[in-house]
Structure 1
Amino acid sequence: MLSVFSSPGHYVQGRNATEQLGAELKRLGLDGPVQIVAGGSAQRLLAEVWERSLKDAKIAYSVHSSGGECTRAEIAAIIAAVQDSGCTAVLGAGGGKVLDAARAVADDLDLPMISCPTTASSDAPCSALSVIYTAAGEVDAYQLVRRNPALVLVDTSVIVQAPPRLLAAGMGDALATWFEARTCTKAHVRNMRGGASTRSATALAELCYHTLLADGPQALAAVRERAVTPALERIVEANTLLSGLGFESSGLAAAHAIHNGLTAAPQTHPFLHGEKVAFGVLTQLVLEGAPSAEITTVLDFCTEVGLPTTLAALGLPDPAPTTLSAIAIRATAPGETIHNEPFDVDADITLDALRAADALGRRHTA
């Protein structure tokens, strides 16, 4: 099996980075016109900057208001907008689902994609993967696209305008990166691009974990004050770049499968991707029989930054046995990443791990 490392063509991060959008597009030979797919917050915060930066670069563009979801209906609506406008590139501006929808559209139309996240709430910006949801909010499918974004531009002046909960959720998503990467590497399974992991990918995944522990609480304090600080910059990089490269080029395992399982319970739908992934990390560690000290470190970190460590914290204070069974069955569906674990996993084993992880979380917060 060949080793494969996947990454965006260019990554730009920093204060007021959107001012350089036009120049960065020109430097990469992307002359437009560009279809911007944007959430409401992105338009409110960036419309004037887009006009100024793209006008200076002489790049024409149009804006399509995103519905904020990544469903097949939303993707179809964006495809129609791109085709009507005649644009030659697709730019996603917003949260993870907006970026995923824009990425799927760019892939379907064989166009370059530009990723401009307005939150650091997930590792979606850098990847070549879109998570498609049903209209009911359940995970429908993974769409593996052919190319990573040509450009990822992260404006930390915008990131700090988002609610602190979103940064914390991004840390929850990034928390899974190292634990899933080391599992996939040890199991010699294929990563998200169909190859073996590289040492570079696992090193980035481990750096992501250590950055979270070192800078997470300080970065969260900064974003509460809407302050761009070195710690905030490092956590944004960890949530976005390190986690994105680490998961894609090393692989996913139980933590993200548990997230997918949790979407089978409607009570969890108000909670963010990274919040559910954080509980998935705890469940994966229980499933793997991880050392108590490691589990305690994860519990301490999650508690400090406000990530869920119990089912109750995800809207399931007293889940019915049928609900837990549905979560376990969905998490272990054929093709799910939980089967990258280096041992056989079924719904019964997963159900026990869910219950044990919940018990540990309850004891830790008592």
Structure 2
Amino acid sequence: MAHSKSVVCIHQRPLIVFASPGRYVQGPGATHELGREMQRLGLQGRVLIIAAGTARRELASIWQAVLPPVGIEPIVEAFAGECSNAEIERLVQLAKQLNCNAVIGAGGGKVSDTARAVADELNLPVVITPTLASTDSPCSALSVIYNSGGSVEGFRFYNRHPLLVLVDTEVVARAPKRQLVGGIGDALATWFEARTVRESCSTTVVGGLPSRTGTALAKLCCEILLADGPAACAAVEAKATTPALERVVEANNLLSGLGFESGGLAVAHAVHNGISEIEGSHCHIHGEKVAFGLLTQLVLEGKPQSEINEIYRYQQAVGLPICLAQVGVDANSDEQLNRIAERSVIPGESSHNEPFPVSAAAVSAALRAADQWGRRLL
């Protein structure tokens, strides 16, 4: 993830920055409140809804029932599946032709990334309605851009956050368990990366030093996941909304989103970007790759073995990867490991937020060691 290193200077120190979406709403059946929530924010007229398959199947009838009565005309367009420059441009042109007043992204992380990009291109407000709790993307003001092959191509950063994030936990509870587990993997790294950024006095993706609020939210996120993760996974297996699931959905979406933006990123997400270069990893979701990136970060940082063991055991318990084979990487391939490591340390990458210089050789060694320990546990 791109970043800018802080300048250590008494008279020219970056400001502390905390950023967030305008409003966050979560709970069972929350979709039925979408019209009233948008009306509260002054949104009216024609709205482009970029929707993944699950969103169209489960929510389209509700949109048609709750949006027109408050003066909103929903135009539902199917998401093509990848947050790419081509898909963003296609949807920008469609929104222009339809003369839309706002954009809604309904689906997973790539849908919300795409909706934010489209809205930014047109200077329109954006609303995010996640159907999964699979990433911390919904609350952020950035998008990860992929190429047609599934590799990370770059990032877009925006001046505005979503005006509204609305999460219907009844829909989340019916989603595949793997999606919730992936969200746990993405969110679990939040505290460990934010801790590193605070130690190194680096800047965050919102352009300032990490706030104590952002760091505290990142820690709270981790505490909730460690306490409630297994119970939330059981709730999704039963397709039931429970207090544990509500807490984990909030952690995955809101706390992790606020924590990573205003707390900072480090090696875990940089390794994700490196792993995404490997073709075998493309069938694995974002949070699974971040989860192995977290293990790599803890090994690279030389954290106490007791802490490392706790995270290995937790990830194994909830079904997150603990070795490279589980994210589609051949641990015996020097070419693949070197490729991951080199991508992880390109200029501007979040690996350079560590409080020490990070080289490709160091990342490669940490990848091998993290994988070996995970294989022993398996």
TM-score, length-scaled by structure 2:
0.95
- Of residues 4, 18, 22, the one that matches 1:9 is 22
Superposition deviation, residue 317 in structure 1: 4.3
Residue 131 (str. 1) matches residue 144 (str. 2): yes
> Which amino acid is the alignment partner of residue 147 of structure 2?
T
Question: 1:265 maps to which residue?
Answer: 278
The SS at the match of 1:125 is coil
Q: Distance in 2 between matches of 1:306 and 1:264?
A: 23
User: Any conservation in 2 of the 1:282–1:295 contact (CA below 8 Å)?
Assistant: yes
Superposition deviation, residue 30 in structure 1: 1.1
User: Any conservation in 2 of the 1:121–1:169 contact (CA below 8 Å)?
Assistant: yes
> Which amino acid is the alignment partner of residue 196 of structure 1?
L
Residue 160 (str. 1) matches residue 173 (str. 2): yes
Residue 77 (str. 1) matches residue 90 (str. 2): yes
Q: Distance in 1 between matches of 2:321 and 2:330?
A: 12
Question: 1:190 maps to which residue?
Answer: 203
| 1:57-96 alignment runs, 5 A limit | 57-96=70-109
> Which amino acid is the alignment partner of residue 326 of structure 1?
R
Residue 25 (str. 1) matches residue 38 (str. 2): yes
Q: Distance in 2 between matches of 1:208 and 1:154?
A: 17
User: Any conservation in 1 of the 2:181–2:318 contact (CA below 8 Å)?
Assistant: yes
- Of residues 44, 47, 52, the one that matches 2:65 is 52
Residue 42 (str. 1) matches residue 55 (str. 2): yes
- Of residues 155, 172, 178, the one that matches 1:142 is 155
Superposition deviation, residue 33 in structure 1: 1.7
The SS at the match of 1:258 is helix
Q: Unmatched 5+ residue regions in structure 1? A: none
Superposition deviation, residue 165 in structure 1: 0.3
Superposition deviation, residue 315 in structure 1: 1.8
Question: 2:5 maps to which residue?
Answer: none
Question: 2:121 maps to which residue?
Answer: 108
Q: Distance in 1 between matches of 2:52 and 2:59?
A: 11
| 1:283-294 alignment runs, 5 A limit | 283-294=296-307
Superposition deviation, residue 364 in structure 1: 1.8
| 1:351-362 alignment runs, 5 A limit | 351-362=364-375
Q: Distance in 2 between matches of 1:339 and 1:316?
A: 23
User: Any conservation in 2 of the 1:64–1:81 contact (CA below 8 Å)?
Assistant: no
Q: Which moved more, 1:271-280 or 1:137-146?
A: 137-146
> Which amino acid is the alignment partner of residue 45 of structure 1?
E
Identity of aligned residues (%): 54
TM-score, length-scaled by structure 1:
0.99
Superposition deviation, residue 362 in structure 1: 0.9
Question: 2:10 maps to which residue?
Answer: none
Q: Distance in 2 between matches of 1:333 and 1:234?
A: 36
Superposition deviation, residue 56 in structure 1: 2.2
Residue 235 to residue 332, structure 1, CA distance change in 2 (3 Å) = same
What per-residue deviation string (whole Å, max 9, x for no partner) do you get for residues 121-169 of structure 1? Answer: 0000000010000111110111011111000000001101110000000
> Which amino acid is the alignment partner of residue 123 of structure 1?
D
Question: 1:323 maps to which residue?
Answer: 336
User: Any conservation in 2 of the 1:283–1:354 contact (CA below 8 Å)?
Assistant: yes
Q: Distance in 2 between matches of 1:134 and 1:294?
A: 36
User: Any conservation in 1 of the 2:275–2:329 contact (CA below 8 Å)?
Assistant: no
The SS at the match of 2:20 is coil
- Pairs aligned (count): 365
Q: Unmatched 5+ residue regions in structure 2? A: 1-13
Q: Which moved more, 1:250-259 or 1:29-38?
A: 29-38
User: Any conservation in 2 of the 1:61–1:87 contact (CA below 8 Å)?
Assistant: no
What per-residue deviation string (whole Å, max 9, x for no partner) do you get for residues 104-132 of structure 1? Answer: 11111111110100000000000001000
Q: Distance in 1 between matches of 2:113 and 2:182?
A: 17
Residue 247 (str. 1) matches residue 264 (str. 2): no
> Which amino acid is the alignment partner of residue 326 of structure 2?
A
Q: Distance in 2 between matches of 1:316 and 1:35?
A: 38
Give structure 1 regions of 4+ aligned residues with deviation exceeding 3 angstroms: none
- Of residues 222, 247, 255, the one that matches 1:234 is 247
Question: 1:209 maps to which residue?
Answer: 222
Superposition deviation, residue 318 in structure 1: 4.3
> Which amino acid is the alignment partner of residue 205 of structure 1?
A
> Which amino acid is the alignment partner of residue 335 of structure 1?
G
Q: Distance in 2 between matches of 1:319 and 1:45?
A: 44
> Which amino acid is the alignment partner of residue 281 of structure 1?
L
The SS at the match of 2:67 is helix
The SS at the match of 1:33 is strand
Superposition deviation, residue 314 in structure 1: 1.3
Superposition deviation, residue 316 in structure 1: 2.5
